[in-house]
Homo-oligomer: A and B are copies of this chain.
Amino acid sequence: MIERLLKKLSRYGPPSAEECTALAGIMTPVRRFSAGQEVIQQYSAPKESTVLLSGMMGRLVTLRGGTQQITALQVPGDFVDLHAFLLARMDHSVVAMNACETTTAPHSELRRLCDRYPRLARALWYLTVVDASIHRHWITVFGRRDAIARAAHLLCELHVRLEDVGLTDDGQFELPLTQAHAGDVLGLSAVHVNRVIQELRARSVVTWDRRRVQIKDWDALVDIAEFDATYLQLVPQVET
């Protein structure tokens, strides 16, 4: 069930069979969510952490005045709110972008595992640190890239992350976002997202129609985005 998660964990040195079994053993039964549903509420204090099994979720912050910002998108295999294991309160909500399946790990059990298996604890720690690396990278994207580069960057990142979990098909992938949601991810208005997508289409770089993205010219997209996948940390670590 959590193979994708175990794959991500194994980048920080493969966990032992015992550790895998132990982790799998504390996961609760599958839960399902439909598009738009709030999976975790802002300001709540979860007693368990959620692994996304299928679908796509977003970390959503709602500001004064009602504008929203999505600070991260989650793909299958992601431990959506592992940071809540350490932090008392959620600083954002988690919303299902389409139909999703999840399983959860109770914090009490996680704590027991971490006490017993220090390397597993570090591998989980590693996941949250990769998350932070992605956040940092998006800060530079927001600070120093224009709209078209941001959009291209999002598509590059999602393609790489989805490919990693086997959810791409020859440059195509599902992207269950309306243009308004994409604006919330990119820090743009929905109108401008539309214009940017059209620009990418006009340049024959990408098509994005009906929740489906097709990358037609990867090199051009990477160039527009100034994309370098290093920050995603998909290359296995070597514990020194």
> Is the CB of A67 closer than 8 A to any CB of chain B?
yes
0 or 1 for each of A121-141: is its CB under 8 Å from B? (1 = yes): 110011011111101111110
Enumerate chain B residues within 8 angstroms of A238, measured Cβ to Cβ: 88
> Is the CB of A14 closer than 8 A to any CB of chain B?
no
- Give Cα distance in the complex from A69 to B226, angstroms: 14
- Give Cα distance in the complex from A160 to B82, angstroms: 26
Q: Which residue of B lies closest to A83 (CB)?
A: B129
> Is the CB of A230 closer than 8 A to any CB of chain B?
yes
Interface size class of A (residues with CB under 8 A): 35 or more
> Is the CB of A35 closer than 8 A to any CB of chain B?
no
CB distance from A46 to the nearest CB of B (A): 10
Contact B86 A140 (CB under 8 A): no
Contacts A132-B83, A187-B143 given; indicate if A89 touches B138 (C-beta within 8 A). no
B-binding segment of A23-31, A58-66, A197-205: A58-66
Contact A63 B114 (CB under 8 A): no
> Is the CB of A166 closer than 8 A to any CB of chain B?
no
Contact A87 B233 (CB under 8 A): yes
> Is the CB of A237 closer than 8 A to any CB of chain B?
yes
> Is the CB of A231 closer than 8 A to any CB of chain B?
yes
> Is the CB of A173 closer than 8 A to any CB of chain B?
no
Contacts A61-B140, A143-B69 given; indicate if A47 touches B237 (C-beta within 8 A). no
Identify the A interface with B (CB < 8 A). Answer: 12, 45, 47, 59, 61, 63-64, 67, 69, 71-72, 83, 86-89, 91-92, 107-108, 111, 114-115, 118, 121-122, 125-126, 128-133, 135-140, 142-144, 184, 186-187, 226, 230-231, 233, 237-238, 240
